[in-house]
Structures are given as structure tokens and as C-alpha cells.
């Protein structure tokens, strides 16, 4: 059985090779290990292999892992759909909310942050770049109005955009979606210069190399690090 350490090393090697191919520096790329359904022990293995960013999809599941791993210097990322009634718990755990996709959620985060005495909450705006109805995210046509609307929420610290690539084996369709996403990222940087546009989070186990080629600087890898999920 392949160890988590070996998988981490393999992913880092792939990142290094794709960066070399396109003239980028590997240290530009942030690796988020997505540990959904995997126990704290697996996260600790990834941590010992050099991973510092951990992504979780569900608040309740993340809470128990967070408690178990408090002593480790982990940066926690919420990468799944966030329900408004889970915001209070989420703000106790996560350093980043990568799935801000609607104004009602922005309002809830802002309200709870103020109530809890949290000055700023780092968020990424999730974009549904593929237009698939099963995916969450702001549609590209509404992205600029959405970002404009976030100005009134004092507790939000927008740090970038996030997307999930299209569910297809067609590499060109995946590449086209990521290219479109990078174009949007460059455009929001120009249109909203007061925002700290730090991350373009796109690319997962099956498509992170294409994502890096098309401008991603943050990839979210689950199966490629922890193996196949049980649920």
C-alpha cells in the first residue's frame, strides 16, 4: 500500500515538473490536501510529509479533526458548500472559506465574525465556471456584481477565486474552463484593485496539472494524497 508520504512526494514532483514545463516556480503553488472522510492520523502523516494546508468539505467532520490536531501548525481551508447554520462553527476552525458563493452566506459570515470578535475572515469567491447545474458557485456573468456587493461586509477579506473543473474526460474542455477562469481572475484584479487577489484556487487530483498550466496557484488534492475515499 502506498503511504501518504509517498503520495505527497509524487504530487509535489508533478507540480515541480509542470512548473518547469511552463516556466513557473513550484513554490508559487500552494498545495491543499483535502482530507474529507480521512482520520486525523492521515492528516498528521501528510503534515509530517510537509503539507501545511488542509481542506475539509464538512464543518462537523472538520471540528473533531481540528480538536485532535490542535498542536500542529495547520492552516485549515473550508472547500465544500457552507450552510449558513454552520458558519459559527466554521469560523472557529477555518483560516480560509474557499466557498463563498452567495450574498446570504456573506451576510452570515460578517454577522457571526462581528459577534465573535473576529476582525477579518479570509474568503475565496467560488465561481461555477463550467455552468453545470450540480455545482455551486457564482456564474461568471454575475461575478463582478457579486464582488461589488461584498464591499459592504466589513469582516470579509477577499483573497481570490475558487472553482471546480468540469466533470469530463475531455482535456480540452477542462483546459478551456481553466483558461476562462484565469481570464476572469486577471479581470477582477484590474477591476477591483483594492482587493488582495492572492489565490486562484483550481485543480484537483485529476486535473491539477492542467490547472497549473492555465494559471492556478492553489490546488486542492484529496485522492492523490490520501487514496480512494470510503465515502
Domain count, the chain: 1
Q: What is the pLDDT of residues 172-195, one digit of tens each?
A: 999 999 999 999 999 999 999 999
Whole-number Å distance between alpha carbons of 133 and 191: 28
Q: Which backbone phi and psi does 156 adopt, to 5 degrees?
A: -85, 130
- Residue 229 pLDDT > 80: no
Q: Can you name the residues that pair with 200 across neighbouring β-strands?
A: 161
The CATH number assigned to the domain holding 77 equals 3.20.20.10
Per-residue confidence (pLDDT) for residue 230, from 0 to 100: 59
Query: Does residue 116 sit within a domain?
Result: yes
Query: Does residue 154 sit within a domain?
Result: yes
Instruction: For the chain, give the mean pLDDT.
Output: 96
Domain extent for 74: 4-222
Q: Can you name the residues that pair with 161 across neighbouring β-strands?
A: 125, 200
Helices (H) and strands (E) counted in the chain, each on its own, are: 9, 8
Per-residue confidence (pLDDT) for residue 228, from 0 to 100: 86
Per-residue confidence (pLDDT) for residue 64, from 0 to 100: 93
Query: Does residue 112 sit within a domain?
Result: yes
This prediction has a pTM of 0.96
Query: Does residue 142 sit within a domain?
Result: yes
Mean pLDDT of 54-67: 96
Amino acid at each position: 500500500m502506498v503511504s501518504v508520504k509517498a503520495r505527497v512526494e509524487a504530487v509535489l514532483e508533478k507540480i515541480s515538473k509542470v512548473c518547469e514545463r511552463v516556466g513557473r516556480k513550484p513554490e508559487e503553488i500552494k498545495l491543499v490536501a483535502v482530507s474529507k472522510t480521512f482520520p486525523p492520523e492521515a492528516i498528521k502523516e501528510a503534515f509530517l510529509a510537509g503539507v501545511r494546508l488542509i481542506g475539509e468539505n464538512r464543518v462537523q467532520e472538520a471540528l473533531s479533526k481540528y480538536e485532535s490536531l490542535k498542536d500542529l501548525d495547520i492552516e485549515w481551508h473550508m472547500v465544500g458548500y457552507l450552510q449558513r447554520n454552520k458558519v459559527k462553527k466554521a469560523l472557529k476552525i477555518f483560516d480560509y472559506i474557499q466557498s463563498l458563493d452567495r450574498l446570504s452566506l456573506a451576510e452570515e459570515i460578517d454577522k457571526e465574525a462581528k459577534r465573535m470578535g473576529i476582525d477579518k475572515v479570509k474568503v475565496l469567491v467560488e465561481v461555477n465556471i463550467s455552468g453545470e447545474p450540480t455545482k455551486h458557485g457564482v456564474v461568471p456573468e454575475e461575478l463582478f456584481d457579486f464582488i461589488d456587493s461584498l464591499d459592504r461586509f466589513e469582516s470579509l477579506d477577499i483573497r481570490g477565486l475558487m472553482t471546480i473543473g468540469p466533470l469530463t474526460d475531455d482535456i480540452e474542455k477542462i483546459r478551456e474552463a481553466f483558461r476562462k477562469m484565469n481570464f476572469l481572475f486577471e479581470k477582477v484584479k484590474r477591476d477591483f484593485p483594492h482587493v488582495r487577489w492572492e489565490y486562484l484556487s483550481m485543480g484537483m487530483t485529476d486535473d491539477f496539472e492542467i490547472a497549473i498550466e492555465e494559471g492556478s496557484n492553489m490546488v486542492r488534492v484529496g485522492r492523490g494524497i490520501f487514496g480512494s475515499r470510503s465515502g
